[in-house]
Amino acid sequence: MSTAAQQVHRIAVIPGDGIGTEVVPPAQRVLEAVGRTHGFSFAWTEFPWSCEHYARTGAMMPEDGLEQLAQHDQIFLGAVGYPGVPDHVSLWGLLIPIRRAFSQYVNLRPVRLLRGISSPLRGLEETGLDLVVVRENSEGEYSEIGGRFNRGTPHEMALQQSVFTRRGVERVMRYAMELARSRDGRLTSATKSNGIIHTMPFWDEVLHELTDGTELEVASVHIDALAAQFVLDPGRFDVVVASNLFGDILTDLGAAVVGSIGIAPSANLDPSGEHPSMFEPVHGSAPDIAGQGVANPVGQIWSGAMMLDHLGHPAAAAAVLDAVERTLADDGVRTRDLGGTADTETITAAILENLERSAPA
Ligand SMILES: NC(=O)c1ccc[n+]([C@@H]2O[C@H](COP(=O)([O-])OP(=O)(O)OC[C@H]3O[C@@H](n4cnc5c(N)ncnc54)[C@H](O)[C@@H]3O)[C@@H](O)[C@H]2O)c1
C-alpha cells in the first residue's frame, strides 16, 4: 500500500561487527515488509562504523559522526566489538558517545518469554513472564573519571569513580514510574546501599522522595538478592529500575531466563524526542559464530519492533512480534541457540511469510 502522504522514516543504520552485519539486513527486510502493509516506509543510510573502520582509520567513527547521525529520525544498530580491538575502545568510541550525546538516558529492556521458547527455568512456560528493566544509560558506574597509577610497580593502583547526579537519577526514575503506571503499578528499584555507601543511599533517597505517597507499589531490593529472585521467582517483578551497571548485568540474566541472548531487544531512548533514539539487540557481535549465517535475528527484529513503537506504529510493532511468535511456536522454526536447526535466512523467510499471511487486506 502506498499513498502520496506515506510517512518516510529516515533511519541511520550501523550494522557494526560480526553477526551485527548478519542480523541487521533481515531485520530491515521485516521492517520494510510491515511498513508496506501499514502505510509507512524507510529511507536507510548505512554507516560502516565498526572495529574494521577502527583498524583502517584509528577511530570507530569519523569526527563528525554524531553530526551525521543527528540528521536522522532514529538509529538502528547491530553490534560492535571484535577480537583484536579492545572492548573498551569499541564501546567508548561509538556506543557510549551516541547514548550520551543524544541524551538516551533510558535503556529499555523487555524481558518477556515469547510463545514457542522454552526457558531454562522450570514451569515458566506455564506462568509466562513479561517484565521490563529500565536501565540508567548516561552516567553511573560507566564513567571516564579515574586513573591508573604507579603502573608496573608493586604500588600499582586503579581508581574508577561512579557518577550519580540528581538530574540523572530523577529522570530515569520518573520514566520508570510512568511506565509502571501504564502497566500494573509495580516498581522495583535495584540498590546496594549496604555495600556502596555514597551513591546507592543517594539513589534510594531519590526513589523515596519521588515515590513517597504514590499509588505505585514500590520495593527497593539489593542487587544480589534481586539477581537470585530473577531466577527463583521472576514473576514477582514488573518494572525494574536500575543503575547503568546493575541494569546491564540484570538484563543479560533476564535474557538467559527467557531463552537466549539472541532474542533480547533493547531501546536507548531520549524520551523527549529531541534527539534520535537508538535500537539494538542486547547481544554482542558473537565472534564465535560470525560468518556462518546461523545467528538468531530475533533480537534485532524485536529491537526493530521497539523502534516502530517509538515511531508511533504500535499496530505494526505488534504484527512483527506476532509473526515472530507464530514462527517460533506454530511453525517450530528455531535457530541453534534455541535448540533448533534453522539458519538466519530460514527463520527470516518464515517470519516474513507469517507477516504476509496476517497482513491487513
Ligand atoms: N551492544 C553491543 O554492541 C555489544 C554488547 C555486548 C557485547 N559486545 C561485544 O561483542 C563481542 C562479543 O562479546 P560476548 O561474546 O561477551 O557477547 P555476545 O553477546 O556477542 O555472545 C555471547 C554468546 O551468545 C551467543 N549469541 C549472541 N548473540 C547471538 C545470536 N543473535 N544468535 C545466536 N547466538 C548468539 C554467542 O554465540 C556467544 O556464545 C565483544 O567484543 C563485546 O565487547 C557488544
Instruction: Indicate which atom in ligand 1 lies nearest the CA of residue 288.
Output: 37
Ligand 1, residues 53, 261, 263: which to mutate, most atoms within 8 A of Cβ?
A: 261
Banded pLDDT at 2 (limits 50, 70, 90): very low
> Rounded to an integer, what distance in angstroms lies between the CA atom of residue 291 and that of residue 295?
9
DSSP characters over 192-249: -TTTSTTHHHHHHHHHHHHHTT-SSEEEEEEHHHHHHHHHH-GGG-SEEEE-HHHHHH
Give the per-residue pLDDT at 358.
83
Backbone angles phi, psi at 167, to 5 degrees: -60, -45
> Rounded to an integer, what distance in angstroms lies between the CA atom of residue 176 and that of residue 166?
15
Report, as an integer, the average pLDDT of 338-344: 95
Share of residues in the chain with pLDDT > 90 (%): 93
Report, as an integer, the average pLDDT of 215-228: 97
- Mapped onto helix, strand or coil, the DSSP state of residue 77 is strand
If you measure from the C-alpha of residue 192 to the centroid of ligand 1, how many angstroms do you get, rounded to a whole number? 27
CB 47 within 8 A of CB 72: no
Q: Whose CA is nearest to atom 29 of ligand 1?
A: 262
> Rounded to an integer, what distance in angstroms lies between the CA atom of residue 271 and that of residue 106?
8
Which one, of 179, 178, 206, lies nearest residue 191 by Cα? 206
CB 239 within 8 A of CB 176: yes
Instruction: Indicate which atom in ligand 1 lies nearest the CA of residue 296.
Output: 32
> Rounded to an integer, what distance in angstroms lies between the CA atom of residue 299 and that of residue 41?
21
If you measure from the C-alpha of residue 151 to the centroid of ligand 1, how many angstroms do you get, rounded to a whole number? 31
Report, as an integer, the average pLDDT of 322-340: 95
> Rounded to an integer, what distance in angstroms lies between the CA atom of residue 115 and that of residue 323?
11
pTM of the prediction? Answer: 0.94
Neighbours of 96 (CB within 10 A): 16
DSSP characters over 258-298: TT-GGG-EEEEE-TTSSS-EEEEESS---TTTTTTT----H
Instruction: Indicate which atom in ligand 1 lies nearest the CA of residue 85.
Output: 41
Instruction: Indicate which atom in ligand 1 lies nearest the CA of residue 286.
Output: 20
9: left (phi over 0), alpha (psi -120 to 50) or beta: beta
| Pocket flag, ligand 1, residue 285 (CB < 6 Å) | yes
Residue 162: in which H helix or E strand, if any? none
Task: Give pLDDT tens digits for 85-97.
Answer: 999 999 999 999 9
Report, as an integer, the average pLDDT of 54-83: 96
- CB proximity list for 186: less than 8 A, separation 6 or greater: 180, 216, 217, 219, 237, 238, 239
- CB proximity list for 308: less than 8 A, separation 6 or greater: 31, 34, 314, 316, 317, 320
Print burial letters for 3-23: b (CB count within 10 Å at least 16), e (below 16). Answer: eeeeeebebbbbbbbbbbbbb
CB 81 within 8 A of CB 284: yes
Give the per-residue pLDDT at 147.
97
CA distances from 107 to 136, 167, 175, 176, 199 (A): 6, 16, 11, 11, 20
Indicate whether 359 pLDDT > 90: no
Indicate whether 156 pLDDT > 50: yes
> Which cell numbers hold the place of 122?
522450570
Report, as an integer, the average pLDDT of 212-226: 97
| Pocket flag, ligand 1, residue 289 (CB < 6 Å) | yes
Banded pLDDT at 53 (limits 50, 70, 90): very high
Report, as an integer, the average pLDDT of 153-166: 97
